[in-house]
A = this chain, B = another copy of it.
Amino acid sequence: MSTKYVYRFAEGNGSMRELLGGKGANLAEMTNLGMPVPQGFTITTEACNKYYDNGESISPELKEEILANIKLLETETGKKFGDTDNPLLVSVRSGSRASMPGMMDTILNLGLNDAVTEAVARKTGNPRFAYDSYRRFIQMYSDVVMEVGKSYFEELIDNMKTKRGVELDTELTANDLKELADQFKAEYKAKIGSDFPADPVEQLFGAIKAVFRSWNNERAIYYRRMNDIPSSWGTAVNVQSMVFGNMGDTSGTGVAFTRSPSTGEPKLFGEFLMNAQGEDVVAGIRTPQSIEQLKEINPQVYDEFAQTAKKLEMHYKDMQDMEFTIEEGKLYMLQTRNGKRTAVAALKIACDLVDEGLLTQEEAVNMIDPKQLDALLHPQFDDAALKAAKPIGSALPASPGAAAGQVVFTAEDATEWAKKGADVILVRLETSPEDIEGMHYSKGILTARGGMTSHAAVVARGMGTCCVSGCGAIVFNPDKSFTLNGKTIKEGDYISLDGSTGNIYAEKIPTVDASISGEFGRLMGWADEIRTLKVRTNADTPQDAAQAVTFGAEGIGLCRTEHMFFDPKRIMAMREMILSKTADQRRAALAKLLPMQRDDFEGIYEAMQGLPVTIRFLDPPLHEFLPTEKNDIQALAEDMGVTVEAINEAIVSLHEFNPMMGHRGCRLSITYPEIAEMQTTAVIEAAINVQKKHPDWKMVPEIMIPLVGDLKEFAFVKNIVTRVADELIAKSGIELEYLVGTMLEIPRAALTSDEIAREAEFFSFGTNDLTQMTFGFSRDDAGSFLGAYYDKKIYENDPFARLDQIGVGKLVQMSVELGKQTRPDIKLGICGEHGGDPSSIEFCHRVGLNYVSCSPFRVPIARLAAAQAAIRNR
């Protein structure tokens, strides 16, 4: 038997994507469900390859197979190619295995010629529609099939408009359009040398060849290269009969949802217009009717539609968003897809579908987009107020939620104003660790510089505070004000920020607090039963830790110790430590920090109630702690009893060309072992104190050495830790276990993980830095070129937001495998920003990590994503 190259929709199904392309497979699936879809057939991707093998021609056998299918289509529809009574008109569309939006060609209304157009005009009672369709068809066909440029036709339209003294295409009459169609055909003849083909069969083969050819047009080739799609896949061609909702008063068109997309309420929602085309519903010239009114106009069609909707929902097991057309009293389904919905609706629909027995709990868990949960965890703008507001600018949606407040320009002012009861929005060029307290007191944060992973963005997400970052259009004025797109905002003026869209408003928009409904808890409960990946949080304060526990965190995966030192009460001792000339001076300064740091850890342990806590030793380059302002330098000099010059010299000597790759992380403990000694003391003494207070908890502090690249580096610091810790524990009179591991964030550490695992008891992947080093660019500087990378389709995702599984992921996977070779029970986690990103979480599940750690407000997202990862990877 020879190969079958053409499939009627009824012959295919949803699983035949490779052969029929995405669109063809989908049309077949609908047909199989018994939906009234306008019928047609799909010419396979294999036929496309054969077309090219054949020297770009359609073989006689294929031609025959296509014609036989046209015959079947004519029989099925009762319409006929070229018939002046009931003409068959078809669309011819490409459809490849992978979605390639806009890359290839489409021809509509094929089958029109002078006589048929006349007939359509008559039948629809709408000659303008008929002739507009006709002139569009000629133009499209000439362009796509015969490659006569569009511009010639557009010139003719312009001439016609000038002649008629009108400005818009829509102002041309049916007669004008008929005349244009004649002119178009003349133009075609002038350019091509023969008459425009009146024969629909000739038109059809021209169109099919054009679609095949479009597989190799320049933009398709470029798109394939950029998206790694082999040219051998080929494209299928879909030939589908056209239906019209504007054929008179028994025709119409509409869109509907099977449940409310805003609330999830389980009833049909939608609207329609009689005697109209799809674009009329959208255009808003006529007011559409509610879907319920269709019941009165045509109860039979309404019932059929309602049943179809129900059936589609049952089949896809999800709320559907449908398009339909009624042609002369007959219902046609043009499209169905899972409907978009609000977060609230998503949860209600999922729970309802379980209660209705349509979904298992697992399926319900799987259908929620984890990112949507974000909206439930933060305040949002009042819907009506938001609709009335107009943004004055927008920038990066760096941390979700909505905030309204009075503008302040320094962290100190933020704290002061907030303490007096004001809601404040902190506006800064960029934030730095010294701003932490002010950021805590702000309702929202707006920065002019910095990307999604800038200091402001990272800290704000951690705090659950709304943040819009990188608004380069902001110009700061000298008089405590800023100008954005012509609008000047002074200190104390109200602005509002939408951290989910990045919009900035020059007014106070009321916000409504987040409410976590009962469905939220139900769904999370199901998720927790399914997932195998633990979810921890990144938290540096008892407040953040407690917040994360309420969101379901099962431990702290990253407690950064450096943020604690920026507190004004502590920074002085920190600076003394940094500027010490001898180990003894340094020890003396560290001794001042020890009790504070021990208190911090006790607070965090208490908040975590015995759950595991991973504490990372001091990481940033020391100059980050040094003063930059003249009076701070003066104060430090006085405090330390040295000259201002000496301080300035020290600051210069600590300058680094590339601080990200400088003297930081474990390198600090190697040059200054006193730092590791003090931090070990704080971690262990705090654990001993808390353990004594809560004998029923099992304290096992996890000490994490950052920026390790070599076993010996790690072993050196671990030696310090175990020496100090073992002595303290022996003195304490109680037993205390602790773990020493590393933040795995240097490519070399991943490459030599078998060695490092000899000493390290856990790895926590620090994928922020690992991404920076693996790609060779710094987050802080990448902004200057990443825009061009997205524009030119070189990157599709921000590798700092979504783990690059090809490159960085390969290193992570190598590291996991090598680490387990040496230490099969090694504890593995991730604590980079990626720990809260669903696709990255799935990757973590797949490579066998034990936990992910993310900012408190991402914990529910991570719990859900982890459950979905478990389901997908069974």
**Bound state CA distance, A776 and B774, in angstroms?**
9
Given contacts A670-B785, A780-B658, A781-B657, A774 and B748 within 8 Å (CB-CB): yes
Residue of B nearest to A776 (CB): B746
Residues of B near A748 (CB, < 8 A) are: 774-776, 804, 807-808
- Is B784 within 8 A of A662, CB to CB? yes
Q: What 0/1 pattern do residues 524 to 558 of A give for CB contact below 8 A with B?
A: 00000000000000000000000000000000000
Of the listed stretches A109-117, A479-487, A707-715, name the one at the interface; the rest are far from the partner chain: A707-715
> Which of A639-647, A695-703, A787-795 participates in binding chain B?
A787-795
Kindly identify which residue among B707, B780, B806 contacts A657, using a CB–CB cutoff of 8 Å.
Answer: B780
Alpha-carbon separation in the docked complex, A810 to B811 (Å): 12
Residues 187-208 of chain A, each 1 if its beta carbon lies under 8 Å from chain B, else 0: 0000000000000000000000
- A663 on interface, CB distance cutoff 8 Å: yes
Across the interface, do B773 and A769 meet the contact criterion of CB distance under 8 Å?
no
Q: Which residues of B contact A716 (CB under 8 A)?
A: 792, 794
Say yes or no: is A226 at the interface (Cβ < 8 Å to chain B). Answer: yes
A806 to B750, CA, bound (A): 11
| Interface pair A657/B660, CB less than 8 Å apart | yes
Copies of the polypeptide in the assembly: 2
For A743-785 the 0/1 string (1 means CB < 8 A from B) is: 0011110011001000000000000010011111110111011
Q: A811 to B671, alpha carbons, bound, how many Å?
A: 28
**Central interface residue in A707, A784, A792, A811, by most chain B CB within 10 Å:** A784
Tell me the complex Cα distance, A658–B781, Å: 7
Known interface pairs A712-B793, A773-B774. Does A661 touch B662 (Cβ–Cβ under 8 Å)? no
User: Given A748-B775, A774-B748, A776-B707, do A781 and B670 touch, yes or no (CB 8 Å)?
Assistant: no
Would you call A17 an interface residue if the criterion is a C-beta within 8 Å of the partner chain's C-beta atoms?
no
Residue of A710, A776, A778 with most chain B CB atoms under a 10 A cut-off: A776
Q: Known contacts A670-B788, A785-B663, A808-B748; is A776 also within 8 Å of B657 by CB? A: no
A858 interfacial contact with B, CB 8 Å: no
Taken together as a complex, chains A and B put the C-alpha atoms of A57 and B474 apart, in Å, by 80
> Can you name the residue of chain B whose Cβ is closest to the Cβ of A672?
B788
Does any Cβ of B come within 8 Å of A225's Cβ? Answer: yes
Contact B659 A657 (CB under 8 A): yes
When C-beta atoms are compared, the residue in chain B nearest to A787 turns out to be B671
* Interface: A656 (CB within 8 A): yes
Is residue A616 contacting chain B, with contact meaning CB distance below 8 A?
A: no
A428 within 8 A of B: no
Q: Tell me, yes or no, whether A97 is within 8 Å of chain B by CB.
A: no
A661 contacts B660, C-beta separation under 8 Å = yes
Residues of B near A658 (CB, < 8 A) are: 658-661, 778, 780-781
In Å, the complex CA distance between A38 and B778 comes to 64
Q: Which residue of B lies closest to A771 (CB)?
A: B748
* Residue A667 at the chain B interface, CB threshold 8 Å: yes
Separation of A659 and B784 alpha carbons in the complex (Å): 12
Min CB gap A712→B, angstroms: 4
Measured CA separation A748–B799 after assembly (Å): 12
Q: Which residues of B contact A810 (CB under 8 A)?
A: 751-752
* Residue of A656, A658, A792 with most partner-chain B CB within 10 A: A658
For the complex, give the distance between the alpha carbons of A769 and B747 in Å.
13
Task: Report A717 CB to chain B, min CB distance, Å.
Answer: 10
A773 — which chain B residues lie within 8 A by C-beta?
747, 773-774, 776
**Residues on the B chain within 8 Å of A660, using CB:** 657-658, 661
A-B residue pairs in contact (CB < 8 Å), sample of 25: A656-B780, A656-B781, A656-B784, A657-B778, A657-B780, A657-B781, A658-B661, A661-B777, A662-B784, A663-B781, A663-B784, A670-B794, A709-B774, A709-B807, A710-B807, A712-B793, A712-B794, A746-B774, A747-B774, A747-B776, A747-B807, A748-B808, A751-B806, A755-B806, A773-B774
A-side residues, CB < 8 A to B, are 225-226, 656-663, 667, 670-671, 707, 709-710, 712-713, 715-716, 745-748, 751-752, 755, 769, 772-778, 780-782, 784-785, 788-789, 792-795, 804, 806-808, 810-811
List 8 A-B pairs, minimum CB-CB distance, nearest first: A748-B807, A662-B781, A658-B778, A661-B778, A746-B776, A657-B780, A658-B658, A712-B794
